[in-house]
């Protein structure tokens, strides 16, 4: 898309320029043609230069007086006429320029040109976010604090103005534009090789599909991360090649299942998403008794799968008969308003162990919980919170477990973007079962503590200079155990646990300490922040590596080997 602002200015300036030229030429010609009288009383004609000079200062209202001689009455008559002609023409031209400067179209063009320049200059990897809302805002907040650059495309100009109030440490360029126009993606730099991902988290599945489709068509190397809450869209998205399709309801259903069946895995998953490694009251769902789920929409159907797998007795209440009719035969779905006391009694709320308010209306969810609690004060309550802004009310309602869809999506998307290994780790542990999970959790708690951090790194030249050099030169196999040693005393170990190693296509969960390191490995670790520093030192610094490997302070020969070349002789 070419920049139009300059052409726009010039094109708009055409009429004022005509007016100026025509009025000036008429006035000049008149001044030349009308005879005057000089100081000796002889008749004369103004030359073109005299006339041009006079008209120039008259039209611009500078007014040096009559020159070269006092004007005669016929000349004064003409001047009187041309004053109005040229001054009006001049003011009109000035006015047009000022209007043009304030013009919205021009302002938009200039903003666009600035945006294009920013994108052109951007060398670092960046991520395009489609839509600026509370979710994408939260993700961008976290990404910018990690130094990852983002670009925003948003239809609503007002929201972009709000963005200017945010004080990001690195600039976040924003473009006003409708995503249905393919040029918008191009302007946002999707074709650039350093555009890493496109994120679209609209509530509207159709919109997400549209974004994914155009993004993939314009650059098939870009990672497309979209939200899809309905199965058919999820399928479509996968067909067109969207890399990551996120369904918040599936995650919720999975978590409900995990908290019923394997709490250790739940702990691990929540820990990767940023929670401490403990089970809180909100994670302890009643394992027996009947569950009442209000709402048989997208979340309800997802929960159905999770509850069924966990072998829980459940019943649904759905207000819309149309949605209720979609239920498979044998499923217990009651039609009625879930906050209606009679309906709740009919669903045996006084006997039930747990009620899940899963409608898309936050107020309705609250009133369901309140109604159920009044009948059965001991019931375990779970409520879905659709909008982050409603958090205060939900907190006041003292609900046992609040599921915030937006927060969940923020954490999930952030993980896929900034911590791909951790994201993969969560997916892998699901196949390992509760027994395995409990072992990992115990190991982490014993070695590290209740709230370990995670750290991802790669064994390559830029992250592990010393290690890679040493391995290439000596050909020696170094076990992963080396990374866990302490820099000040190699016989002691840092509180550190290597969770996951990705070696090409091969994926190793919890590698044995004697597993040899290979160049190109991607590693996910859990531990304390300080110990990650040690790991980085060992990987990058020749002296530190030498110490943890041999136990001796680095000898001259090893230093000179690194400094002077592999054979120890000066090059």
Partner 1 sequence: MNLEKVISGFFIILALTMNFGFFYGDPTVLEQHNRYELFIAIIVNLIATIYKLGDKTHLGAVLLATSLVADIQLIAAASVWALGEYVTGMNTETVTAIVSLSGGALLANIVSVVLFTGDVLKSKR
C-alpha dihedral (72, 75, 79, 85), degrees to nearest 10: 170
Cα–Cα distance measured from residue 63 to residue 59, given in angstroms and rounded to the nearest whole number: 8
Number of residues binding to partner 1, judged by CB under 8 A? 18
Three-class secondary structure assignment of 168-231:
CCCCCCEEECCCCCHHHHHHCCCCCCCEEEEEECCCCHHHHHHHHHHHHHHCCCCEEEEECCCH
Shortest Cβ 191–partner 1 spacing (Å): 23
Closer residue to partner 1, CB minimum distance, 2 or 328:
2
Which parts of 13-72 fold into alpha helices (H)? Answer: 14-33, 48-59
Closer residue to partner 1, CB minimum distance, 27 or 404:
27
Shortest Cβ 97–partner 1 spacing (Å): 14
Stretch that binds partner 1, among 2-10, 462-470, 476-484, 543-551 (CB under 8 A): 2-10
Shortest Cβ 47–partner 1 spacing (Å): 7
Stretch that binds partner 1, among 7-15, 134-142, 384-392, 463-471 (CB under 8 A): 7-15
Closer residue to partner 1, CB minimum distance, 48 or 81:
48
Per rule CB under 8 A, is residue 18 in the interface with partner 1?
yes
Per rule CB under 8 A, is residue 28 in the interface with partner 1?
yes
Per rule CB under 8 A, is residue 105 in the interface with partner 1?
no
Shortest Cβ 159–partner 1 spacing (Å): 32
Closer residue to partner 1, CB minimum distance, 47 or 61:
47
Member of 1, 7, 248, 453 binding partner 1 (CB under 8 A): 7
Buried b (16+ CB within 10 A) or exposed e, 326-356: ebeeeeebbbbbbbeeebbeebebeebbbbb
Q: 411: which 2 tokens?
A: 């954490």
Shortest Cβ 31–partner 1 spacing (Å): 11
- Interface map 36-55 toward partner 1 (x if CB under 8 A): -----------xxx------
497 phi and psi angles, rounded to 5 deg: -140, 125
Per rule CB under 8 A, is residue 519 in the interface with partner 1?
no
Shortest Cβ 402–partner 1 spacing (Å): 57
Q: Where are the beta strands (DSSP E) in 452-521?
A: 453-458, 496-503, 506-509
- Interface map 48-87 toward partner 1 (x if CB under 8 A): xx--------------------------------------
Per rule CB under 8 A, is residue 10 in the interface with partner 1?
yes
Asked if residues 554 and 543 have their Cβ atoms less than 8 Å apart, the reply is yes
Closer residue to partner 1, CB minimum distance, 7 or 81:
7
Closer residue to partner 1, CB minimum distance, 32 or 335:
32
**3 state SS of 167:** coil
Q: 145: which 2 tokens?
A: 């604090």
Shortest Cβ 10–partner 1 spacing (Å): 4
**419-423: Cβ within 8 A, 24+ apart:** 419/272, 419/454, 419/456, 420/456, 421/456, 421/500, 421/502, 421/522, 421/523, 421/524, 422/272, 422/454, 422/456, 422/524, 423/272
Closer residue to partner 1, CB minimum distance, 11 or 472:
11
Shortest Cβ 72–partner 1 spacing (Å): 21
In sequence order, what DSSP letters do the residues of 327-394 get, joined into one string? SPTT--EEES-TT-HHHHHHTTTTT-SEEEE--S-HHHHHHHHHHHHHH-TT-EEEEEE--GGGHHHH
Closer residue to partner 1, CB minimum distance, 2 or 329:
2
Cα–Cα distance measured from residue 386 to residue 248, given in angstroms and rounded to the nearest whole number: 11
Closer residue to partner 1, CB minimum distance, 93 or 334:
93
Residues that bind partner 1 (CB under 8 A): 2, 7-8, 10-11, 13-14, 17-18, 21-22, 25, 28-29, 32, 47-49
């Amino acid at each position: 898309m070419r920049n139009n602002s300059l052409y726009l200015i010039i094109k708009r300036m055409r009429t004022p320029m005509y007016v100026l030229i025509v009025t000036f030429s008429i006035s000049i010609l008149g001044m030349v043609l009308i005879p005057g009288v000089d100081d000796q009383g002889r008749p004369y004609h103004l030359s073109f230069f005299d006339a041009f000079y006079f008209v120039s200062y008259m039209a611009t209202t500078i007014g040096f007086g009559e020159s070269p001689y006092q004007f005669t009455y016929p000349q004064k008559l003409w001047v009187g006429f041309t004053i109005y002609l040229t001054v009006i023409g001049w003011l009109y031209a000035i006015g047009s320029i000022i209007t043009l400067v304030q013009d919205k179209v021009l302002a938009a063009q200039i903003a666009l040109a600035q945006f294009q320049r920013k994108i052109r200059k951007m060398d670092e990897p960046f991520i395009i976010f489609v839509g600026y809302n509370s979710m994408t805002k939260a993700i961008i907040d976290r990404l910018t604090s990690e130094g990852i650059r983002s670009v925003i495309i948003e239809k609503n100009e007002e929201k972009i103005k709000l963005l200017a109030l945010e004080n990001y440490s690195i600039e976040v360029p924003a473009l006003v534009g409708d995503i249905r126009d393919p040029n918008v993606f191009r302007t946002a730099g999707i074709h650039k090789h350093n555009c890493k991902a496109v994120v679209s988290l609209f509530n509207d599945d159709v919109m997400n599909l549209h974004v994914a489709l155009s993004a993939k068509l314009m650059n098939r190397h870009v990672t497309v991360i979209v939200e899809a809450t309905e199965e058919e869209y999820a399928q479509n998205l996968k067909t067109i090649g969207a890399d990551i399709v996120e369904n918040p309801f599936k995650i919720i259903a999975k978590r409900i299942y995990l908290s019923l069946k394997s709490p250790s895995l739940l702990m691990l998953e929540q820990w990767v998403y940023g929670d401490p490694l403990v089970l809180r009251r909100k994670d302890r769902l009643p394992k027996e008794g009947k569950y009442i789920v209000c709402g048989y929409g997208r979340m309800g159907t997802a929960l159905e799968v999770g509850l069924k797998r966990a072998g829980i007795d459940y019943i649904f209440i759905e207000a819309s008969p149309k949605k209720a009719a979609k239920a498979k035969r044998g499923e217990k779905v009651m039609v009625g308003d879930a906050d209606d006391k009679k309906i709740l009694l009919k669903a045996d709320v006084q006997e039930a162990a747990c009620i899940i308010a899963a409608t898309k209306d936050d107020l309705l969810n609250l009133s369901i919980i309140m109604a159920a609690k009044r009948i059965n004060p001991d019931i375990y309550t779970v409520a879905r919170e659709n909008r982050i802004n409603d958090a205060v009310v939900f907190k006041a309602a003292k609900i046992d477990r609040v599921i915030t869809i937006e927060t969940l999506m923020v954490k999930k998307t952030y993980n896929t973007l900034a911590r791909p290994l951790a994201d993969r780790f969560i997916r892998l542990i699901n196949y390992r079962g509760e027994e395995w999970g409990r072992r990992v959790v115990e190991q982490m708690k014993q070695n590290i503590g209740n709230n370990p951090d995670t750290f991802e790194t790669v064994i390559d030249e830029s992250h592990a200079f010393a290690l890679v050099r040493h391995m290439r030169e000596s050909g020696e196999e170094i076990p992963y155990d080396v990374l866990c040693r302490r820099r000040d005393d190699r016989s002691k170990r840092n509180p550190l646990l290597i969770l996951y190693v990705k070696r090409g296509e091969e994926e190793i969960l919890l590698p044995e300490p004697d597993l040899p390191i290979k160049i190109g490995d991607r590693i996910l670790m859990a531990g304390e922040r300080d110990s990650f520093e040690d790991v980085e030192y060992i990987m990058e610094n020749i002296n530190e590596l030498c110490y943890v490997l041999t136990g001796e302070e680095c000898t001259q020969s090893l230093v000179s080997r690194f400094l002077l070349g592999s054979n120890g002789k000066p090059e």
